[in-house]
Amino acid sequence: MEPLPKLTGILRFGVFEFELRSRELRKQGRKICLEGQPVQVLIKLLARPGELVTREELQKELWPSDTFVNFEQSLNAAVKRLRQALGDDPGNARFIETLARRGYRFIAPVGMGPGAGSPQSDAPACAVESLAVLPFANTAADPETEYLADGITESIINLLSELPEIRVMARSTVFRYKHKPLDPRSVGRKLNVHAVLLGRVLQRGDSLVVGAELVDIQNGWQLWGEQYNRKLSDIFAVEEEISREISEKLRPRLTGEDRTRLAKRYTQSTEAYQDYLKGRYHWNQMSEGGLQKSIEYFARAIQRDPNYALAHAGLSDSFGLLGFFGLTPPAVAMPKAKESALRAIELDDNLAEAHAALAGVLKVHDWEWAAAEREYKRALELNPNYATAHRMYASYLTAVGRPKEAISEIRLAQELDPLSLVISMEISWNSYMAREYDRAAEEALRTLDLQPQFAPAQHVLGLAHAQKGRFEESIAALEQARAASAGNAALLGALGHVLAASGRTEEARAILDQLTEVSQQQFVSAYWPAMIHASLGETPAALAWLEKGCDEHDVWLVWLATDPRLDGLRNEPRFTNLLRCVGLLPNAGTARAGT
Q: What is the mean pLDDT of residues 133-141?
A: 84
Q: Is 257 exposed, middle or buried (0-12, 13-18, 19+ CB in 10 A)?
A: exposed
What b-and-e string marks burial along 3-30, b requiring 16 or more CB atoms within 10 Å of the CB?
A: ebeeeeebbbbeebbbbbeeebbbeeee
Q: Contact 140/203 with Cβ under 8 angstroms?
A: yes
Q: What is the mean pLDDT of residues 369-384?
A: 94
Q: Reading across the β-sheet that carries 16-19, which strands appear in turn?
A: 30-32, 24-27, 16-19, 10-13, 111-113
Q: Is pLDDT above 80 for 126?
A: no
Query: What residues are paired with 199 via a beta bridge?
Result: 212
Looking at 108-112, 359-363, 443-447, which range is the least confident one?
A: 108-112
CATH of domain 266-367: 1.25.40.10
Dist CA 516 CA 532 (whole Å): 13
pLDDT of residue 257: 67
Tell me the pLDDT of the chain averaged across its residues: 84
Q: How confident is the model at residue 261 (pLDDT cuts 50, 70, 90)?
A: low
Looking at 80-84, 369-373, 426-430, which range is the least confident one?
A: 80-84
CATH of domain 130-265: 3.40.50.10070
Portions of the chain given CATH number 3.40.50.10070: 130-265
Q: Contact 182/190 with Cβ under 8 angstroms?
A: no
Q: What is the pLDDT of residues 202-224, one digit of tens each?
A: 887 888 888 888 888 876 777 77
Residue type, 430: N
Q: What is the mean pLDDT of residues 547-554?
A: 94
Portions of the chain given CATH number 1.25.40.10: 266-367
Domain 4-113 of CATH type 3.40.50.10710: no
Q: Is pLDDT above 80 for 428?
A: yes
Q: Is 432 exposed, middle or buried (0-12, 13-18, 19+ CB in 10 A)?
A: buried
Assign residue 542 a region (left: φ > 0; alpha: ψ between -120 and 50; beta: otherwise): alpha
Task: Select from 119, 111, 87, 556 the least CA-distant residue to 365.
Answer: 556
pLDDT of residue 591: 36
Which residues neighbour 585 within 8 Å (Cβ) at sequence distance 6 or greater?
A: 576, 579, 592, 593
Q: Is 209 exposed, middle or buried (0-12, 13-18, 19+ CB in 10 A)?
A: middle
- Decide: pTM greater than 0.85: no
Q: How confident is the model at residue 22 (pLDDT cuts 50, 70, 90)?
A: confident
Query: What residues are paired with 195 via a beta bridge?
Result: 131, 216
pLDDT of residue 267: 85
Which DSSP string do the residues of 404-454 spell out, in sequence order?
A: HHHHHHHHHHHHHSTT-HHHHHHHHHHHHHTT-HHHHHHHHHHHHHH-TT-
Which residues neighbour 167 within 8 Å (Cβ) at sequence distance 6 or greater?
A: 129, 130, 131, 193, 385, 415, 416
Strand 10-13 to strand 111-113: parallel, antiparallel, or no bridges (unpaired)? antiparallel
Which DSSP string do the residues of 451-493 spell out, in sequence order?
A: -TT-HHHHHHHHHHHHHTT-HHHHHHHHHHHHHHTTS-HHHHH
Q: Contact 434/403 with Cβ under 8 angstroms?
A: yes
Portions of the chain given CATH number 1.10.10.10: 4-113
Q: What is the pLDDT of residues 155-210, one digit of tens each?
A: 888 888 877 777 888 888 888 888 887 788 888 888 888 889 888 888 878 888 88
pLDDT of residue 7: 46
SS3 101: coil
Q: Is pLDDT above 80 for 506?
A: yes
Residue type, 15: V
pLDDT of residue 125: 47
Q: What is the mean pLDDT of residues 95-118?
A: 72
